[in-house]
Amino acid sequence: MATSPKKKILVVDDEKDICIYLSRLFQENGFSVTCAANGDEALQAIEQDRPDLVTLDLSMPETTGVKFYRAIKSSPDLASIPVVFVTGVTGPGGPRDTEHFYSTRKQVPPPDGFVAKPIDPEEMLALAKKLTSGTRDKTATIGSIN
Amino acid sequence: MPDQTDQHLAAFNALDLSCSELFDEVPCWISIQDREFRVVKASRKLIEDFGEHRLQACYKAYKGRTEPCAECAVVHTFEDGKDHTSQEVLFDKRGLPHSVMVNTRALQNRAGEIVAVSKVFADISSEKELMNRLRDSLVRFHNLFDNAPCFITVQDRKFRIVEANRRFEEGFGDGLGTRCYETYKKRQDRCPKCPVAETFADGQVHTSEEFFVDDHARQVHVLVYTAPIRDATGEITSVMEMATDVTEIRTLQNKLANLGQLVGGIAHGAKNILEGLRGGVYIVNLGFRDNNQEDIRTGWDMVQRNVGRLSSVIMDMLHCARERSPRQLPVSLPDLLKEVLTLFAPRAAEFRIKLEAEADAAVEILGEPKDIHSLFSNLVTNAIEACNADQNDQKINRIVARVFQELDAAVIEVEDNGAGMDVATREALFKGIVSTKGNAGTGLGLLMSQKVVTEHGGSITVRSELGQGSVFTVRLPLRRQADFSSGEVQHGN
């Protein structure tokens, strides 16, 4: 019986150690992983690798997570890829990235998942498995909103 | 002396008082007195209110005195024959006082001799009462004006200060006659937006928040209210400006806001450090499980790195919270520069950043060696992070750390050609709310650096341009020749 190809996850975080951590966590659980340290790198990686899931840190210098998210959700080719927001900032009224996202969510669909730092590895894995288990039916629906 | 009295009475009776009935009926207090101040005739109204005092001296009859008054209009009229007036207080038959305006006029016989003086009393008690109230109001108004805990001025249309209260004089000296903007702002021309001008224009109350500079060159943050002052016709003649000193409140508000953002930044940074530690432990455990040396090494590096970061954050926090004066030990800045750059060389090499030093041979200050070391380390850390954040792959990143002497100052300068900062970021520096390092920084380092510099009597400035890089310049008082007996030169920690 042929083994199915590994699902690909793109980890976007400017914290090197978090990239290493999530990479090993996902690899250990059967995923293949690419890392990007900022929004620009992430855009290149997503075009190149077409991952099955993106975990995205919202607070990054330069091209922020929100900018990257808006860029992929406005692209017909990429909009169907599920995205999980990973941030130390939770809830409205917090620092500006989350606030900015909530204030502009009319223009972009909500993310497929939201994981708060410190990351609960079980929760993160469960979410990753769920979002990559089926086909891209769910995200396709989200993509069609655009 | 009955003879004399009789003579006076005879003379008085000789007067033509054909209108005597009218005299009685006038609803006023009128008396006619002879040279002895005796009341030889009184109107019925005077008798009704003050009693019958015929032939009694007026000072006794109406004032209860035993001696004539020091000033007496009757005496003057007898002397010069002219009308006189005076203000007096009389007591009626119930003993109640009445303030009166007295008018006197000479009464002459046919030979033209003054034989008596008529005296009309106008009751001005109510006017007097109003005057007293007015005077009390004025005193109260002046007390309020002077003692109000704010700067109050009254200004004319040319913004000249025509009245000012005591608080104003304490802060800005005798500014009467000067223009508002000269005294409050030390400017030569009027301010572009002026609430006084607005009130003159529309007669409404206007407010603004401004900065004054007082006589001690201290900047005073004020909340200004202006209100029109109108004359009887309703025309605005001047404007009152009331400025309340809110410097301490605003400083406190800013500190609280900065503190809030700082705590948020620390919490956010701490989450990332914790994540790094957990990740390190996770990978070390994988390494042990699989006997994989590479995992163990990777994980252990992560643990070490994040313990170092945690330690740095905690040390910065402790430093920021510490309230004490630094020790005054001699510190050689070139030695310190060498030490710090040696410490950071591996890290710079890891990120392919060129780290260079330029130092004058002998630049020394007096201070706390550990603090100066931390300050230097923070500046170099910032520079490395700024180079890492630089998106320009074509550029070779470079950091130059300099130590040199400039007049009486020892200068530490750390220049990088990294990401640089925009204007907003540059202006928000040193408030503990800025990190250009994304998740890497809490913003504490710069706050701590500023505290060290301030504690050592120096200054810290920054020049920066987005995409071009930054230069942080610290100036500290140079160790003077006279300080050279204070001991061994130290450096580092």
B453-490: buried (b, 16+ CB within 10 Å) or exposed (e) per residue?
bebbebebebebeeebbbbbbbbbebbeeeeeeeeeeb
| A95 vs B contacts (CB less than 8 Å) | 264, 268
| B275 vs A contacts (CB less than 8 Å) | 15, 17-18, 21, 117-119
Q: Which residue has the tokens 């990235």?
A: A97
Which residue from B minimizes the CA distance to A22? B279
| A22 vs B contacts (CB less than 8 Å) | 279
Q: What is the complex's ipTM, to 2 decimals?
A: 0.75
pLDDT-flagged residues of chain B (< 50): 1-4, 18, 433-440, 486-493
- Whether A1 maps to a domain, the answer reads no
- Whether A2 maps to a domain, the answer reads no
Rounded to the nearest angstrom, the minimum Cα separation between B342 and chain A is: 24
Tokens, residue B397 = 């990143």
- Whether A21 maps to a domain, the answer reads yes
Domain B148-245 annotated CATH 3.30.450.20: yes
Count Cα atoms within 13 angstroms, Cβ side, for A83: 25
Contact status of B298 with chain A (Cβ, < 8 Å):
yes
- Count of CB atoms situated within 10 Å of the CB of B136: 10
- Candidate from B268, B276, B283 with C-beta closest to A18: B276
Distance CA B150, CA B159 (A): 19
- Candidate from B268, B282, B440 with C-beta closest to A24: B282
List chain B domain ranges. Answer: 2-124, 148-245, 256-315, 324-485
| B438 vs A contacts (CB less than 8 Å) | 14-15, 59-61
* Topology of the domain comprising B324-485: Heat Shock Protein 90 (3.30.565)
- Whether A101 maps to a domain, the answer reads yes
Residue A93: its pLDDT value, please? 46
| Boundaries of domain holding A59 | 7-145
Contact status of B283 with chain A (Cβ, < 8 Å):
yes
Per-residue pLDDT band at A103 (split at 50, 70, 90):
very low
Contact status of A62 with chain B (Cβ, < 8 Å):
yes
Would B148-245 and B324-485 be classified into the same CATH topology?
no
Q: If DSSP states are collapsed to H, E and C, what string results for B206-242?
A: EEEEEEEECCCCCEEEEEEEEEEEECCCCCEEEEEEE
Mark yes or no for CB contact B391/A62 under 8 Å: yes
Residue A142: its pLDDT value, please? 32
- Whether A134 maps to a domain, the answer reads yes
Residue A104: its pLDDT value, please? 58
Please name the residues between 12 and 51 in chain A that touch chain B, using a CB distance below 8 Å.
Answer: 13-15, 17-18, 20-22, 24-25, 28, 38, 40
Number of inter-chain CB pairs under 8 A, A vs B: 80
Residue B390: its pLDDT value, please? 81
Mark yes or no for CB contact B439/A88 under 8 Å: yes
Structural domain count, chain A: 1
Mark yes or no for CB contact B282/A21 under 8 Å: yes
Dump pLDDT digits (tens) for B241-287.
Answer: 999 999 888 878 877 777 776 777 777 778 888 999 999 999 999 99
Residue A19: its pLDDT value, please? 93
Q: Go through chain B and tell me how many residues it has.
A: 493
Per-residue pLDDT band at A107 (split at 50, 70, 90):
low
Residue B395: its pLDDT value, please? 83
Answer for the pair B415, B448: CB distance below 8 angstroms, yes or no: no
Residue A89: its pLDDT value, please? 62
Residue B16: its pLDDT value, please? 53
| B306 vs A contacts (CB less than 8 Å) | 17
Per-residue pLDDT band at A73 (split at 50, 70, 90):
confident
Is the pTM of the predicted complex or chain greater than 0.80? no
Rounded to the nearest angstrom, the minimum Cα separation between B439 and chain A is: 6
| A15 vs B contacts (CB less than 8 Å) | 272, 275-276, 438-440
Dump pLDDT digits (tens) for B198-239.
Answer: 999 999 999 999 888 888 878 888 999 999 999 999 999 999
Contact status of A126 with chain B (Cβ, < 8 Å):
no
Alpha helices by DSSP H, listed for B69-123, are 73-80
Selected residue of A11, A19, A21, A33 to mutate for chain B interface (largest B Cβ count, 10 A) = A21
Distance of CA B216 to CAs B173, B236, B285, B419, Å?
A: 10, 34, 65, 41
In this predicted structure, the answer to whether residue A29 has a pLDDT above a threshold of 50 is yes
- Candidate from A15, A24, A38 with C-beta closest to B272: A15
Residue type at B265 in one-letter notation = G
Q: Which residue has the tokens 């409050």?
A: B184
CATH number at A55 reads: 3.40.50.2300
DSSP notation for B264-276 = HHHHHHHHHHHHH
In this predicted structure, the answer to whether residue A139 has a pLDDT above a threshold of 50 is no
User: Which residue in B177, B173, B174 sits closest to B159, CA to CA?
Assistant: B177
Selected residue of A15, A17, A67, A115 to mutate for chain B interface (largest B Cβ count, 10 A) = A17
B2-124 has which CATH code? 3.30.450.20
